[in-house]
Amino acid sequence: MKELKDVKNVAIYLRRSRGEETEDLIKHERSSIQVCEKYGWSYTIYKEIGSGDSIEARPIMCELLDDVGIGLYDAVVVTYYDRLGRGSGTDQDIITNVFLNSSTLIIETTPFTIYNMEDEASEEMLAFKQFMARRDYKNINKKLTHGRKMAVEMGRWVFSSPPYGYDYNRKTKKLEINEEQVKVLRMIYDMYLDENMSSNDIAWSLNKQQIPSPKNTLWTGATILQQLKAEVTLGHIVYNKTKGNRKSKSTIKKKFEYVPKSEWKTVYNAHPAIKTQEEHERILKAIKENNTHTRKNNVNVLSGVVKCYNCNSTLTIRKASHDGRDEISNCSKCKQCKGGRAEIVMNSIFKSATTIKGALKDIENDQLKDKEKTMLLKEIEKLDAKLDTQYKAIENIELWFEEGRYSSDKAKSKIKEREEKIYELENIVRKKREKFESFSNMTNTDRIKRLDEFIDRMKKSSDENDKAKQNTYIKNIISEIIWKRTEWDEIEITVNFL
């Protein structure tokens, strides 16, 4: 049986849960290193930041278990045993078996204790520690879940990011109107209800005006429908729509599933409304009616897209009486532009798409900018996650103050520290967002992908003779097509992509 004198090479495992102080992790690292230096052990540090009661939610822990399993270490050093895990019985069995099969010791520094899975007394002691750690985790999680539920019932926004049309007020923890985004939503409502425009046509209109979507990319018909149907813009918070963990792959946890609408819960008048209940009902009715009627036979492939070079009027697409083929009519407004075969325009679309695709592949500077933008976006996402951690920490402090675990002075002091960190992080995020927004909304890689998808979809829908689909695909990628023909033998076509 392995003993302390047999230990030469160890792994130090450090984990800080979200909401815990960074100083705690530093203290744990320092005390673990001191133990290793005292006994002259060589060590490798495995450091992890993140909550998660399951092994699968902790990639560094998974890496450690793999290395322990192949016998890389004589022991693993932890400050407290529950840093290794306080998950389900299955997870605990995995940890126990890995250490048992590899004859690897577990050394706890506070207090200094050695556990050997081959020793029955050690195994029993660890089983007890595992049970207590799991119970402690469940109690904390239960309190936090209850606190989150209470916050929602008070009209607070506890979800990740604010919905389109709103900003999150850090002090009140509620949603407030974003005036610029509300203007866009009002445009969407008016275009859908009063101008009878389809969701795809609305998306096309917003893209032509260079109005960014909620994700700072191009609008799509699906995104428009999401905004039209959103109940949050009524001033309500609807929750309890799902249960289970969407990301978890565990077979012992509750699987992710959608909750029946009859079981959804609503907090009314939680924040200012953007639309009325009457408007919402009109929208839902219009969506239902649009879903039961098809425009396929009434829409031409180029409907609404071809413009006169002289007066920018939309040119009519009609069937030629002598052969039934689509053709562009003469401009009825300025009388300066003559018509012609629609197939000429279609050929120009495909030719322009192929030419642009080739040019994009040759632009090295833009490719470097694309990489920079991607890296910047990842940095912003990481900073947003850190901000979420700080907000959750403040909620924990408030909860613990209510339970009497923190005095008023201690709670105020800790909240002040978090708010200072939040202020610092928000300034960094703001600057990075400004830089991000200075870039084009799409990378060259994105553009090439969209062009490939466009060409493939157009060919497929052409085989199916689905003109409505083709018109939608064109409007998803093209802002307008300028048609110029002053003489019958001269045609000039300009395809402007979004």
Q: Quick one: CA torsion of 255, 256, 260, 263, rounded to 10 degrees?
A: 90
Cα gap 357→453, rounded to integer Å: 12
Token representation of residue 301: 């492939």
The tens digit of pLDDT for each residue in 377-419 reads 777 777 777 777 777 777 777 777 766 777 777 777 888 888 7
Structure confidence at residue 23 as a pLDDT band (50, 70, 90): low
Q: Report which of 259, 308, 17 is spatially closest to residue 137, judged by C-alpha positions.
A: 17
The tens digit of pLDDT for each residue in 442-486 reads 566 777 777 888 778 777 777 666 777 778 778 777 878 888 888
Structure confidence at residue 213 as a pLDDT band (50, 70, 90): confident
Pairing of strands 42-49, 257-258: unpaired
Token representation of residue 471: 């018109």
The tens digit of pLDDT for each residue in 215-274 reads 777 888 888 988 998 888 998 888 777 776 555 554 445 566 777 878 888 888 888 999
pLDDT of 97 > 90? The answer is no
SS3 assignment, position 190? helix
In this prediction the pTM is 0.49
Q: Report which of 350, 312, 322, 360 is spatially closest to residue 470, judged by C-alpha positions.
A: 350
Q: What percent of the chain has pLDDT over 70?
A: 77
Token representation of residue 249: 């792959």
Torsion-angle region of residue 320: left (phi > 0), alpha (psi -120 to 50) or beta? Answer: beta
Structure confidence at residue 143 as a pLDDT band (50, 70, 90): low
pLDDT for position 295: 44
pLDDT of 31 > 70? The answer is yes
Largest CA distance in the chain: 99
Task: Share the mean pLDDT of the chain.
Answer: 77
Residues facing 237 on adjacent strands: 267
Taking residues 295-320, what's their average pLDDT? 75
Pairing of strands 75-78, 306-308: unpaired
| Cβ atoms 16, 52 nearer than 8 A | no
The tens digit of pLDDT for each residue in 158-195 reads 776 788 999 888 788 888 999 999 999 999 999 888 88
Q: Report which of 466, 456, 394, 462 is spatially closest to residue 423, judged by C-alpha positions.
A: 394
Whether residue 260 is preceded by a cis peptide bond, meaning omega within 30 degrees of 0, is: no
| Cβ atoms 62, 56 nearer than 8 A | yes
Which domains are seen in the chain, by residue range? 4-135 (3.40.50.1390), 166-293 (3.90.1750.20), 296-498 (no CATH)
Taking residues 33-43, what's their average pLDDT? 91
pLDDT of 106 > 50? The answer is yes
